[in-house]
Amino acid sequence: MTDLPRDPRHDPVLREEVLAALAIQPGERHVDATFGAGGYTRAMLAAGADVIACDRDPDAIAGGQALVEEAGGKLTLIHGRFSEIDRLLAERGIDAVDGITFDIGVSSMQLDQGERGFSFQKDGPLDMRMAQEGESAADWLNSADESEIADVLFHYGDERQSRRVARAIVAARPLTRTGELATVIRKALRHPPGAPKDPSTKSFQAIRIHVNGELDELIAGLDAAERLLRPGGRLAVVSFHSTEDRIVKNFLRERSGGDAAGSRHRPAPLPLARAATFETPARKVRPGKAEEARNPRARSATLRSAVRTSAPAHSTMKEAMSC
């Protein structure tokens, strides 16, 4: 089909590199597991794919209805978590697809809306919930133990002064606004006004990852993708955090017959005599300087991709550990 106009709200990171990894042929069925503002979906449609897109954020689904109309029957939007994408597609009679793409983390659209509470640059309610349900960032920060907060900041945000920040957060409770939290963090880390890098970045990232269970979602989503991809199907994952990238790297290494080392988030695999479900993964891809200059969000992005073999899907990591 002809190229649909790009949505100015979201220029997807590594767009051309993702398309190259997916190698879309007209008429194939592809999944955009993290729809957001629809940047990757538009690119897939333009390449001739029939697209099924998923997002747990109801705002993303509502905002995508215009694209559904533009696509003329080539796009299906599903409200749900990508960790359950195989079940969501099975409910619609689909048990195999030609490609799946993940763009892990918060979307530009969510960051730009101060009322969603994701950004330290825009004051708003201290929320951060992608699905807009369950425990909010404020709920957790105002009730969690100081040691629990410190652990989350350290493990999910690589914040070396996590205990100092956690102590300041507990002392300042209750917190209800993103601006309040950012101020507390800056004071705790003695951040001079006007300094180039805001020290709130790491803590906001860590709290968001925890509130949304993002690492567990990623692990379950990769397992679901393995079950859904047909032989020769392509998987492309864009991540923005070192821990997320490590999970993807270890998953693909393990499932391609390598010896994944595991991590604190994903245990080392059991020595199961199983055939490789993915071919040797492609080398990781990083954005070029031109893209980084055009889109600052791209600076921390990493793309990993692989091709599905015909071997049966492995047990999930949780199932393997219970055997």
Say whether pLDDT at 229 is over 70: yes
Q: What's the pLDDT score for residue 164?
A: 97
Instruction: For domain 15-109+214-322, give the CATH superfamily.
Output: Vaccinia Virus protein VP39 (3.40.50.150)
Q: What's the pLDDT score for residue 121?
A: 79
Tell me the pLDDT tens digit for each residue of 8-36. 456 799 999 999 999 999 999 999 999 99
Determine the 3-state secondary structure of 110 from DSSP. Answer: helix
State whether CATH 1.20.1740.10 applies to domain 132-211.
Answer: no
Q: What's the pLDDT score for residue 323?
A: 38
Ranges of beta strands (E only) in the chain are 29-32, 50-55, 75-79, 97-103, 229-239, 302-307
Higher per-residue confidence, 195 vs 227: 227
Where, residue-wise, is CATH 1.10.150.170 in the chain?
132-211
Say whether pLDDT at 39 is over 50: yes
Q: What's the pLDDT score for residue 198?
A: 86
Where, residue-wise, is CATH 3.40.50.150 in the chain?
15-109+214-322
* First CA to last CA distance, the chain: 48
H helix and E strand count, the chain:
15, 6
Tell me the pLDDT tens digit for each residue of 102-152. 999 776 666 666 567 677 778 999 999 998 999 999 999 999 999 999 999
Pair 170, 149: CB distance under 8 Å: yes
Q: What's the pLDDT score for residue 111?
A: 60
Tell me the pLDDT tens digit for each residue of 67-80. 999 999 999 999 99
**pLDDT average, residue stretch 51-79:** 96
Query: Which residue in 303, 297, 323 sits closest to 118, CA to CA?
Result: 297
Spatial separation of the C-alpha atoms in residues 112 and 125, rounded to whole Å: 14
**CA angle at 303 for the pair 136 and 74, rounded to the nearest 5°:** 80
Task: Express as a percent the part of the chain with pLDDT over 70.
Answer: 85
Tell me the pLDDT tens digit for each residue of 148-188. 999 999 999 999 999 999 999 999 999 999 999 999 999 99
DSSP state of 300: G
Letter string b/e over residues 302-322, b meaning 16 or more CB atoms within 10 A of that residue's CB = bbbbbbbbeeebbebbeeeee
Q: What's the pLDDT score for residue 270?
A: 46
Pair 31, 18: CB distance under 8 Å: no
Q: What's the pLDDT score for residue 4?
A: 47
Q: What's the pLDDT score for residue 232?
A: 98
**CA angle at 247 for the pair 245 and 252, rounded to the nearest 5°:** 95
Q: pTM of the predicted model, to two decimals?
A: 0.88
Higher per-residue confidence, 113 vs 1: 113
